[in-house]
Amino acid sequence: MAQLQPGQRIHFIGIGGAGLSAIARILLERGYAVSGSDLQGGPLTAALAADGARVYRGHDARYVQGADIVLATSAAAANHVEIQAARALNIPVYNRKAFIGAVLRDSDTIAVAGAHGKTTTTSMIIHILNSAGKDPSFIVGGQLAGSGLNAGLGAGPSFVIEADEYDNMFHGLQPDLAIVTNIEHDHPDFFKTEVEMRDAFRQFVNRLAPGGDLVACADDDAALLLADERRRAGGMATTYGMENPAADWRLIDMGDTGGTVTATLEQHGSPRAALRLGLPGGHNALNALAAIIAADKRGVSPEESARFLQSFRATARRFEIRGERDGVIVIDDYAHHPTEIKVNIEAARLRYHGHQIWAIWQPHTYSRIQQFWSGFVNAFAEADSVLLTPIYAAREAPIEGITSEALAEAMASHRSASYVPTFEDAVDALIRRVRPPAVLLIFSAGDANLIADMFLDAGY
């Protein structure tokens, strides 16, 4: 584990990424000197630079000179020019897993893990605790509505963090309270099998601090198994759900009309609060219930939390309404797994009765598309039309036969699906073919969210 001392300079390789930019923000607010490099800029690096961080475009050995510690993105290879320079200068180099424990030391750590829903659940906990005057520190995998920040230093004892499973980052945590929303195979470039991923989550739960507490979704078999295992070992675990009648906390009488989700919260069969949430879908109601339970364990009553959540707004790129033009609503969503895409299309169908649902999808990484091919082909069943852009490669090389063109062809037999080679082509197709009332759901964990602005700004 890294040893942080006042006055140190911390250099970040890949400072523009969601994970490293958040840590950089926390350290900058704690008074550390922060520098970093990245191939591209963005609003997060611009905000860091405005607040005093030294941010470089591109990579160069000179950038690490004078640093006390280097923190490198998982995407940086061992022969990266700045990593090699740091080692030549005997500057210790860490990844997030080895570094994050030093950032959270002496905090009451609330860690939210799960294949889906962790960003929204984390954001909801932050919103509740802030509304209750608890002023938590936080790191979240998206930009909060209002502030636009993905991290912040608070005066309260709690540190709320989104526990990222990729590269086993969450194995660097020792949470006091852990939430597991669900476990489903993802990141096949890292977790080769679902068994590997389940075991990674089990190790995360086993890292709970002495006396720590687990909150797990009882509607998800893998998450429920972790709760059962913890209880058998004498540890604390609380379960929640909608479908499982044995859950400690349940949502009942759920409704979803006009974009508002309503439900009653029960604890061991007794009503505790009425939920009214301005986000669509039962999955978001479950996220809210997990957040309410976490806040209850930190002294905020369910009634208060439910009231606070009435003003909660979606985190950036999580079913985020980007605008409306001539009866066409444009929504940006980070979904990049078949399950996430499916539930968001279903939520849009419920929320926008009588609208055509268009899905504009930028597939993310070749290994994920190869692993979940049939899932993706079937995930768009509730969409009226689908446009596919080229695959966003991220850290990967192409895999023969795994293309957006082939995906579109596989879908076309049972829905309107077509491939567009550029974002400009996508916007042109939408202008020509979409007729109001309609909803454009842009699914992208890459850069296809640019299509939202391009469509809204385009001349007809």
Q: Rounded mean pLDDT of the chain?
A: 94
Is 194 labeled as catalytic in the residue annotation?
no
Q: Nearest to residue 341, comparing CAs of 225, 186, 199?
A: 186
- Predicted confidence (pLDDT) per residue in 45-97, tens digit: 999 999 999 999 999 999 999 999 999 998 889 999 999 999 999 999 999 99
d(CA 265, CA 45): 40
- Predicted confidence (pLDDT) per residue in 305-353, tens digit: 999 999 998 777 778 999 999 999 999 998 889 999 999 999 898 889 8
- Predicted confidence (pLDDT) per residue in 126-150, tens digit: 999 999 999 999 999 888 988 889 9
Is 162 labeled as catalytic in the residue annotation?
yes
- Predicted confidence (pLDDT) per residue in 243-271, tens digit: 999 999 999 998 877 678 899 999 999 99
CB 409 within 8 A of CB 381: no
Q: Nearest to residue 312, comparing CAs of 117, 146, 112?
A: 146
d(CA 334, CA 448): 10
The percent of residues in the chain predicted with pLDDT above 90, rounded, is 82
Task: Please give the angle made by the CA atoms of 373, 375 and 378, to the nearest 5 degrees.
Answer: 110
pLDDT value at 440 more than 90:
yes
CA 15 to centroid of chain Cα atoms: 18
Averaged pLDDT for residues 408-429: 90
CB neighbour burial string for 219-242, b if at least 16 within 10 angstroms, e if fewer = bbebbbebbeebeeeebebbbbbb
* Candidates 45, 109, 134, 162; catalytic one: 162
* Candidates 45, 73, 109, 119; catalytic one: 119
pTM for this model (two decimals): 0.88
d(CA 247, CA 227): 11
Give the number of other Cβ atoms within 10 Å of residue 20's Cβ.
24
CB 305 within 8 A of CB 128: yes
Count the helices and strands in the chain (H runs, E runs): 15, 21
Is 297 labeled as catalytic in the residue annotation?
no
Q: Which of 221-235, 247-261, 363-377, 390-404 has the lowest mean pLDDT?
A: 247-261
pLDDT value at 460 more than 60:
no
Beta bridge partner(s), residue 256: 261
* Candidates 118, 238, 315, 342; catalytic one: 118
CA 234 to centroid of chain Cα atoms: 31
